[in-house]
Amino acid sequence: MILHVDMDAFYASVEEREQPELIGRPVIVAGSPQGRGVVAAASYAARKFGVHSAIPTSTALRLCPQAIVIAPRHGFYAQVSDQIREILLRYTPLVEPLSLDEAFLDVTGCEALFGSAVEIGRRIKREIRDELRLTASVGVAPNKFLAKIASDLKKPDGFVVVDRQAVQAFLDPLPVGRLWGVGRVTGAAFEKLGLRTIADVRQLPVDELRRRFGEWGEHLAQLARGIDDRPVVPDREAKSISHETTFAVDLDDCEILRSWLRELTEHVGCRLRRHGLKGRTVNLKVRFADFQTITRAKTLPQPTDITDEIWTAAAELLATKLPAQGGRIRLIGVGVSGFEASAQVQQSLFPDAERERRTQLDAAADQIRERFGAASLNRGSGLLHETRHKPLPRPEALP
């Protein structure tokens, strides 16, 4: 069985834990409203006003003027994430993190030691609450797709179990938007076909789905039947480390996208350094509003875990390697692959002083942000506040 553990409003909840007077108030973890800041997380009290991640901080404050804005402390959140990971690893070595605040666990081989998957899920929730004073929602199911849906159904502090014998009964009543990848545009296409629930999709012939949606239609048919054969892949066995975000509102603002890309790059760099990994290839993933998904990659001259080197490559891919008519963007992600363990990377007889300086800068920056918050230190490549609003540039169409 698979567990999906998803922390509730993670950044905001950590800040509430550190400042109990914030509990129950609308808290927004975000960049400066005076610049091009965007919301990274919002408490459930703020979400009642329509505030969600990825929107500009200035928009969030128009929706909820009484909100308390806190600058993100990524280094500190990463430390808390490590503590959560330690709890998860008590029960299985098969832990696949998706980001700082969520992970899949395969507990199939551990039930003889710790009890059923349901018991393990409840123990994990309890230990996170008792030891870290945070809440997690947990989904327990036969596969990753079902577990992720389950963890999201009764947030916050949810716990949903999908029995192997009741998969279709669980899925059929759910809205079609619960299928991975069905956003606003695809949802409208399903609406025109009269398909409103997962049961409606399942009852449509696979050939018809394939005709209308291509290869993705066949994938939808599998998901509508609760079929997902992907294994849980631990970080140490993964071929890449990546981080991505899906926007609640599709974006075409270049600087907001760059700002998100910067934040995602910080997460990836941090995870690489925590696991002692360096990679040669930087990967950019973009999903457009029509669900067209593309990836672009750049190979570096030498393996790296340096945030600025990853960011420079990712920003170049964003600026120059997207299709000319791609349209608005609903998801963006960055990753690093082509790993060589840090200890295995050949050392130069003539060390690069600039790279050593950047390595030291990463370590120092993490410590400063952990103590004083993200706004206390900005990198040159991240100073986006002085740039005017402009649409995402569209270069020549790629072959």
Give me the active site residues, please.
102
Instruction: For residue 79, give both structure tokens.
Output: 């430390």
Token match 């927004």: residue? 28
What span, in angstroms and rounded, lies between the C-alpha atoms of 285 and 181?
A: 14
Distances (CA, A) of 128 to 33, 80, 82, 90: 33, 11, 12, 12
What end-to-end distance do the CA atoms of the chain give, in Å? 43
Instruction: State the Cα–Cα distance between residues 377 and 383, nearest whole angstrom.
Output: 10
CA distance 352 to 270: 21
Q: H/E element holding 89?
A: helix 74-89
Q: Are strands 159-161 and 136-141 parallel, antiparallel or unpaired?
A: parallel
Identify the CA nearest to 221 among candidates 246, 240, 239, 195.
195
Q: How far is CA 161 from CA 85, 154, 158, 368, in A?
A: 22, 11, 10, 41
Residue 53 tokens, joined:
């991640």
E strands present in the chain? 2-7, 27-30, 39-42, 68-70, 95-99, 102-106, 136-141, 159-161, 240-251, 277-288, 293-304, 329-341
Q: What sign does the CA torsion over 248, 253, 254, 258 have?
A: negative
**Element of type H or E holding 113:** helix 111-114
d(CA 97, CA 173): 29
d(CA 9, CA 151): 13
- The radius of gyration computed from the CA coordinates of the chain, to the nearest angstrom, equals 21
The SS3 call for residue 154 is: coil
